[in-house]
Structures are given as structure tokens and as C-alpha cells.
Structure 1
Amino acid sequence: MNGRRPLKRAAGAGAVVTLLLAALTSCGGAAQDKAPSITAPEVFYLRPVGDKSGPHDKDPFHFSAADGKVRTGGRGPVDHTLTVDVLPGAQSAVVLRKGGNCTGSSTHMTCEVRSEYDSRSDGGVSLVAAKGSKPGDAGDVRYTYADRSGKKVTARTKAVVGEPVVEVLTAKAVSGVRPGVELSRSIVVRNAGEVPVRGLGLAIGLEQMEFEERYANCRYPGFYKGHIAVCEFPDLRIAPGQTVTLRPALRLRTSKTRMYASFNSEARALDMGPGYAGVMASGDHGDGPALRPEVTAAENGTYAKGGGWTNVVLDTHADYSVSDVNLYGAPGTKRTFELTVRNNGPANAGATEKLVFSPPLGMEMVKQPMQEYDEDAYEPYCENGAFTYTCDIKALEPGKTQTFTFTMRLGDPGEGTLTLQDKGPAHDGHDGYVGDRDPEPGNDKAVIRVRPEQ
């Protein structure tokens, strides 16, 4: 999902607050002015003073303002004032940190800003925990956006000291799984933070697997062809240190022909910001049972902040083979020939192999396989070093081949080699990587011969 698939927070919990003035209208089909607005998080969690831990995917503090006027050529002049105030009673929890074109104190800042302002690009005030504050302390911060005429619009953010830190029980790899069988996996989450999780969002992503069961309270966006489930539990509360298991366990169907698969479980507190909102815009609910959270005892294992991927290694193999090539002709003769790699199955091991082509001595390159790296721009497909050509082999379904076409000028009679080699686990970082487990290593090597004209 880093990488990674989106979650959407619950409506109302952490939703963006937008307060509008009376709308401006215009006639005809021209673009219309809109009301001035401020967009700010309803709730924002602060790390305790001196503590840099917390969620790995937290959305940075961000707010924006706009006067709503239609204009061309930029974001307007610096003719608006943005005021940020820590409201009475909140000073012991939150203070302001200055940035951008702002002046003032730790509880009151004034910024001269453009008609369209965004704290990400323009800089500005940020919120930090006050000295002496403790987890659970909270208070309101108010934003006031005004034009030169004095028209104002306001919004508020509740700042909370401490954060909910959602962690998901993960495993780097699962091996020994038979192809085509059902794999059952439970989703276990815990709150490693200082304050309660208020609403949980969950995204489950599959690669080379399918959902055997689709849950009634999860959406399955069609854009991802049913390989992502997005679920929300807006009423769930997880206390600091508490563990929750979602039941029933996931039922996943493994591929009959793929050797490697993976699944991802990502979770976050729904009021931690918009996060991955995109995929909730579409997708039907499943027709199976609903996933239900249940408070359970803590389980041993590795918990990852926000979740992560688990690789699945299926108990199968792929037999790749390469064949001999014979070339006939006198020295200096040009010959075009094909080097063909075949996957004899029974599985597709992915792009795990490479072909190393060492031509006979005296052969000269005339033309080699090329690939387009930009529009109408090409480069050699195979890497060339010390007169050896190393060609990546794509993922091949059982029974499929990949062919590399070369044109070379022959030298004296002689022999070269064709060798299939494993790329090694570093090529994709797949935990549990075991290559193609080729049971017939004898056909991983072949000879390319140059012989006199017959």
C-alpha cells in the first residue's frame, strides 16, 4: 500500500472544518466567486515535549485559507491578515511556533498572507505541546482570516497532547503454502500511543491473491479489481496499551500458478487527518459477514507502526531453460539469431532470472535488443560488460518464452555460453525470496557455436 493504499477517516471525526461567509454570485457561464474559507483539521495530536516517536505516517499540521475570488495569474496579492490564537484555558496544553511572515507570541500570531494561503508552501504558524503539558491535555486554537475591508472568517482546531499510535501485528514472510489453497490470517492491532484511538481505518491490499470472503462493512474499489478492501470502524475506541483482533480471520485464496504473493494490512486512527481518502470514493460493500473488533490479550510478535506487507512464498517452482544455438559462416559473415528462454512451469516465479550471453571469441556486435526509455529514445536492453551481455528475463507464465534477437559478425569457429542465473533477493527486496527453485539446473546452460559454412 508506502508504495501504499489509502484509508478514509470517519465523517465528522477529524473531518476538515470549513466555515463559509455568504456566497458571491455572478451571471452567465463565467466562473463564479466563492465565499472566503479556512480549511483546518478539527483535531490535531501533538507529540509530548521532547518525544519524537509516534505514528510513522502522520499528516503534518496544515491549514489553508482563500478569499474565494476568481483570478488569473497567481494566488493574489499579500492583502489579507491571518491571526492565530491559543484560546483561554489552552495555554497549558498548546503553544504556537512561528514561521513564514508572522509576528507575535506563543499564544497570539499575526501573519500577512496572500489571498490564497497554504501553510505547506507559504510557511506559517505550527502547533506544539506546551512545556509541562502531559498526555490528554487539550485546548482550542482559533484562526481568523480577514481582508482589508474587515470581512472575517474563522475556524478552530482542538489540539491534544499525545497521540494514538496504531500498530499492526505483521510477519515478514510466510512460506510452505500450497498453490491454490485458502490462507487464513487474523488482523491484530494495538494502540502504542498515549491517548485513545477514536475510530479505526483499515486497508487490506493483495498481490497475486484474491479475497475468498468479502466483508459486509468493507468496500472493494473497482479500480483495484477487488484486490483492496477498505474498512472503517468509527465507533471503535482502543485505549493506550490495548490490543484488538478483527474477527473473523481474513480468508485469502492463493494463486495456482504464481510462486510469490503478498498482502498488506494498514491501519490508522480515523481522526489523525485525511490520510488515504481516495479509495473510499467508490466500491461496493462485500456480501459476507462483517468484520468485528474484539478486545484480546496482547499477542507476541512484531508490530509495525501503521502496518506493513507480508510476503507469501508458495510451495512450487519454475523450470527455466535455454537452448543451444548453431551459427554457420565464414569469418566476417553477418548472422541474425535468437536466444530463447522458456519457462517450463509449473509456476510463474516472477522476474527472478537473467540470461548471461558470452559470445564466442572474435564475434563483433552489429545490432542488439533495444528498449525505449523515453519517447523515440532507445538504449540497449541488455547490460554489456567485458563482452558479456546480461539480459533481464521478464515474469513468464508457464509455457511462455522470451526471445532476444542479436545480429553479429562471425569470427573464427568457436564456442560461447548461454547461462541462466538467479538475480538474488536484493533485486526486489522480497523477504523469504528463494528464486525459482529450478528442479532441472542442467537446462540452465547452453552453448552458442560458430561453425564453418556447410
Structure 2
Amino acid sequence: MKRRRLLKRAAGVGATVTLLLAALTSCSGAASGKAPSITAPEVFYLRPVGDKSGPRDKDPFHFSADDGKTHTGVRGPADHTLTVDVLPGAKSAVALREGGTCTGSSTHVTCEVRSDYDSRSDGGVSLVAAKGSKPGDAAVVRYTYADRSGKKVTARTKAVVGEPVVEVLTAKSLGGVRPGAELSRPIVVRNTGEVPVRGLVLKIGLEQMEFEKRYANCRYPSFYKGHITVCEFPDLRIAPGQTVTIQPALRLRAPRTKMYASFSSEARPLDMGPENGGAMAGGDHGDGPALRPESTTAEKGTYAKGGGWTNVVLDTHADYSVSDVNLYGDPGTKRTFKLTVRNNGLADAGATEQLVFSPPLGMEMVKQPMQEYDEDSYEPSCENGAFVYTCDIKALEPGETQTFTFTMRLGDPGEGTLTLRDKKPTQDWYVGDRDPDPSNDKAVITVHPDD
């Protein structure tokens, strides 16, 4: 089903218990899936007592249990047992907090659960740093799940007080970049958290740009057609307060016929587990040199938790033009006509322009251009206010046109106007299309008497 396209680069996630999810471990009694199983994080991090700061976009703590039986979609009674224990020797680091149908103490909780328990939807046990704990303290938490027949399975996770907080040196925008030029950008990462970063994942994403060099220890997932790379440094340790620079500097190629491009530099601890459920898995390694982290002094600039996007404004322009339209007929005559916008180049400026159509007085709308926003669902392509139609122009390659088709009843002879204009800027780096020839940004639509 077709849907509206939404550009979405970042979304914050909040959770009462702020945890970093690591690689998941699934413990099961049989590969057939007919034995009970638990899926739980292998490692997660807890905020110290009273501290609500931490890394951006944290995944909330999550685990699930299943008895392995075939379920019909109708959930049965809560006749399975889930037990959570803080193992001896580390009780001063982590405390259990029960909820839902769970009861117990800060170190031992028992829950009566259904056969397909999920902590996200069913609630239950959460973990918090124990009073008196300090960053670096750790505990092992054990889960025991039993089905109706008494079959049991266990899983364990390591809980660590404090979090590694990865920040990446970013620039909001780069201007004056020559079309087709090579950009060399260093990747600088620092840890502002309370505990060390143990392994690092670096993800670079490109829009309208290309990788000039593909690195040997980075993967290029085929689904993203070479516009995303994932680089892993499993042996890297970044102590709290330490900064590292990834060498050599990242080499990117700017587009030749675009006005705007962007790239992202994002980093996260490796033990947070696969991003987006493993969507970035796979891909061939590059044939260039291997990237290597080097400890450095902190560079001046803006650091963003987890990283962010940099917008690139190319030193080029687009020349949009609109042409006169002549209509002939007596008042009341129905006419269908096209308003055509053309990009004369040099570059594609993206969806930065609008066509403002003010019809001659006396015209009456019969049919206006429509666009499909969902399957078999349509809406007008142009906004109408006070009988002035404002039409968003899509991204046009040099030489490409876009046409808006109207059907209207003519009034008395007269003139209307067609005007091209930049959209209102939404960011301070936005420069519109830098149209070098404003004379062709205006035209007239004229109603002539029928001879």
C-alpha cells in the first residue's frame, strides 16, 4: 500500500528505566522450539541512582518467555511461572522492582505469566541501580521460566551500573562545496559516560553522495545500494573522558548535479547489540585500507550523543522557469490547460520551489490537479487560498519539467499571473535554488476573446 513519504532522521525514546540493550541471548531446551525458552539481553546498563541523563535513543529493557507450544492467538491463563533473581555476591549493585502480577523482594521476584510472556506488553520486573552502588558495579541476574508441566529453562544477563555515552564530533552544515569535489572528514568519538565503551560500531550514511574509498573493516549492506557502511571495532576500549579519532579521514565524493546533499556519522557501543533488529547486517567488505582508532586529545566543536547528520550545500544553482499561457473563448467556455515548470540547470535543487497561480478574474474552477496519497485516495496537488493556488514543485533534474493540469470556465478577457518562489526556509543553511535568472520566474495567463 502506498503511503505518504516522511523524512525522519532522528527520534528520541524515553524510558523509566534507562537501559542499554546488548546482544540478545536465547536459551531453549531444544532446537525444535517445542521446549520453553527465554530471550533476554546479554548485557545492559543502568543509570546510577538519581541520575536521569545518559545516551540518546536508548532501547528500553526487554525480555520474553515462551513455552514453545503452538498458540491460536487467544492468550491463555497466567499459569506459567517466571522467577528473577539477583545472584549472590552482587546484591549491592542491582535491585529488582516488581510490577504487574509479580511479587517478591529487591533480589527475588516471582511472576505468574501466560505462555507467551513479553515484558513490553505484560509488564513485570524492571532493574534499577541499588542504593549505595557506584558506576562500574555489576551484577548477574538470572531468569527461570517454567511451563505447566514443570519444564524449566534459564537465562542470565549482566547488569552494569553506569553507561558508556558515545558522542560524535559533528557539523550542522558545510557550505561552498564545489560540485564533484572530494570531502575529507575525520570521525572523532568520545565517551562522556561513567563506564568504558567496550567495542564500537560506526555507521556512515549518505544522501546524494558516494564513498570515494571503501574500507576493509567496513561492511556495505547491499539493501542500501552502497549508501550506508557499518564499521566495527570489537577490541576498542574508550575510557570515560577519552577521545579517539578514526583514521584515515573519511573520503566522500560530492554530487555534480545536486545543490544539496548530506551525510551522517553515528556511533554506538558494540555491546548494545544489532541496531534496528539487525537491519544493518550483512554486506561485502571494502577493498581499501582498514580504518583504525587512535587516542587523541578532544577537538573543539559540537559533539552529538550518538552522532548526527551534516548538510552539504553545493556551490551551484538551479534556474527554474515558467511560460506564458494563452486561452481563447467566450465567458462560460470550459478550457483545459497546463502550467509547466522547467529546471534549466545547472543542478537539481530538490523540492525547494513553489508555483503560485493567480487566475484571471471571473474564472471558475472545474477540475484541479490531484495527487494520490494512499491507494485509491487523492487530494489536490495545490493549496487553494482566496482563489490563489500554491503548488509544490518536486525535485527536478536539469532539463526536467513538471506540469499541473487545470480545467476552468473562462470569464471576461483578462490576465492572471504565474510566479515561482522559494519555499520558506526551515533551516539556517537553506539557500533555496539561487536562481541566477529571476526574469523567467514570472509569466502571465491571459484570457482572449474568441475571434
TM-score tier (shorter):
over 0.9
| Residue 63 of structure 1: aligned partner | 63
Range with greater deviation from structure 2 (340-349 or 97-106):
97-106
Q: TM-score, normalised by structure 2?
A: 0.94
Contact 2:80–2:145 (CA under 8 A) maintained in structure 1: yes
Range with greater deviation from structure 2 (377-386 or 393-402):
377-386
Whether 2:430 is the aligned partner of 1:433: answer yes
> Equivalent residue of 2:272, what SS?
coil
Q: Which residue of the other structure, out of 24, 36, 40, is the alignment partner of 1:16?
A: 24
Q: TM-score, normalised by structure 1?
A: 0.93
How far apart in 1 are the matches of 2:280 and 2:207? 19
Shift of 1:23: 5.3
The residue identity in structure 2 corresponding to 1:446 is: A
| Residue 150 of structure 2: aligned partner | 150
When residues 2 and 133 of structure 1 are mapped into structure 2, their CA distance, relative to the original with a 3 A threshold, is farther
Whether 2:315 is the aligned partner of 1:315: answer yes
Contact 1:345–1:398 (CA under 8 A) maintained in structure 2: yes
Contact 1:219–1:280 (CA under 8 A) maintained in structure 2: no
| Residue 294 of structure 1: aligned partner | 294
Per-residue CA deviations over 1:34-68 (Å, capped at 9, x if unaligned) read: 22111111111000111111111221111111111
Per-residue CA deviations over 1:96-142 (Å, capped at 9, x if unaligned) read: 11122111111111100011111011101010001111101111111
Whether 2:55 is the aligned partner of 1:49: answer no
Whether 2:165 is the aligned partner of 1:165: answer yes
When residues 2 and 202 of structure 1 are mapped into structure 2, their CA distance, relative to the original with a 3 A threshold, is farther
Contact 2:166–2:268 (CA under 8 A) maintained in structure 1: yes
| Residue 414 of structure 2: aligned partner | 414
The residue identity in structure 2 corresponding to 1:450 is: V
Shift of 1:14: 4.0
| Residue 444 of structure 1: aligned partner | 441
Shift of 1:16: 1.8
When residues 123 and 55 of structure 1 are mapped into structure 2, their CA distance, relative to the original with a 3 A threshold, is same
How far apart in 1 are the matches of 2:159 and 2:52? 17
Contact 2:221–2:228 (CA under 8 A) maintained in structure 1: yes
Q: Equivalences for 1:157-196 in 2 at 5 Å?
A: 157-196=157-196
Q: Equivalences for 1:84-123 in 2 at 5 Å?
A: 84-123=84-123
| Residue 359 of structure 1: aligned partner | 359
Contact 2:23–2:41 (CA under 8 A) maintained in structure 1: yes
How far apart in 1 are the matches of 2:45 and 2:124? 18
How far apart in 2 are the matches of 1:406 and 1:2? 33
Shift of 1:277: 4.5
Per-residue CA deviations over 1:232-287 (Å, capped at 9, x if unaligned) read: 11110000000010011111011110000000011100112433353443211000
How far apart in 1 are the matches of 2:328 and 2:22? 74
Shift of 1:197: 0.1
| Residue 9 of structure 2: aligned partner | 3
Range with greater deviation from structure 2 (134-143 or 347-356):
134-143
Per-residue CA deviations over 1:178-234 (Å, capped at 9, x if unaligned) read: 001111111110001000000001110000000000000011111111000011111
When residues 97 and 410 of structure 1 are mapped into structure 2, their CA distance, relative to the original with a 3 A threshold, is same
How far apart in 1 are the matches of 2:449 and 2:253? 56
How far apart in 2 are the matches of 1:23 and 1:185? 47
Contact 2:36–2:147 (CA under 8 A) maintained in structure 1: no
Shift of 1:72: 1.9
Structure 1: segments with no counterpart, 5+ residues: 6-12, 25-32
Per-residue CA deviations over 1:335-387 (Å, capped at 9, x if unaligned) read: 11111111010000000000000001001111111112232222211111100
How far apart in 2 are the matches of 1:238 and 1:117? 37
Contact 2:274–2:280 (CA under 8 A) maintained in structure 1: no
> Equivalent residue of 2:236, what SS?
strand
| Residue 10 of structure 1: aligned partner | none
| Residue 128 of structure 2: aligned partner | 128
Shift of 1:22: 4.2
| Residue 14 of structure 2: aligned partner | none
Contact 2:191–2:238 (CA under 8 A) maintained in structure 1: yes
Contact 2:94–2:127 (CA under 8 A) maintained in structure 1: yes
Contact 1:381–1:391 (CA under 8 A) maintained in structure 2: yes
Shift of 1:321: 0.7
Contact 2:49–2:129 (CA under 8 A) maintained in structure 1: yes
Q: Equivalences for 1:226-305 in 2 at 5 Å?
A: 226-305=226-305
Per-residue CA deviations over 1:56-106 (Å, capped at 9, x if unaligned) read: 122111111111112323344322100111111222110011122111111
Range with greater deviation from structure 2 (328-337 or 249-258):
328-337
Contact 1:59–1:273 (CA under 8 A) maintained in structure 2: no
Shift of 1:2: 5.9
Aligned length: 436
How far apart in 1 are the matches of 2:172 and 2:281? 31
Structure 2: segments with no counterpart, 5+ residues: 1-6, 12-20
Contact 1:173–1:431 (CA under 8 A) maintained in structure 2: no
When residues 259 and 22 of structure 1 are mapped into structure 2, their CA distance, relative to the original with a 3 A threshold, is closer
The residue identity in structure 2 corresponding to 1:19 is: C
Range with greater deviation from structure 2 (324-333 or 348-357):
324-333
When residues 178 and 234 of structure 1 are mapped into structure 2, their CA distance, relative to the original with a 3 A threshold, is same
What is the RMSD of the two structures over their aligned residues, measured on CA atoms?
Answer: 1.6
Contact 2:164–2:269 (CA under 8 A) maintained in structure 1: yes
Range with greater deviation from structure 2 (189-198 or 65-74):
65-74
Q: Equivalences for 1:209-224 in 2 at 5 Å?
A: 209-224=209-224
Q: Equivalences for 1:374-413 in 2 at 5 Å?
A: 374-413=374-413
> Equivalent residue of 1:281, what SS?
coil
How far apart in 2 are the matches of 1:400 and 1:348? 9
How far apart in 1 are the matches of 2:282 and 2:274? 16
> Equivalent residue of 2:275, what SS?
coil
How far apart in 2 are the matches of 1:301 and 1:185? 13
How far apart in 2 are the matches of 1:144 and 1:138? 20
Per-residue CA deviations over 1:285-309 (Å, capped at 9, x if unaligned) read: 0000011001111011111010100
> Equivalent residue of 2:214, what SS?
coil
| Percent identity (aligned) | 83
Range with greater deviation from structure 2 (269-278 or 251-260):
269-278
How far apart in 1 are the matches of 2:68 and 2:383? 55
How far apart in 2 are the matches of 1:75 and 1:229? 42
How far apart in 1 are the matches of 2:27 and 2:359? 72
| Residue 453 of structure 1: aligned partner | 450
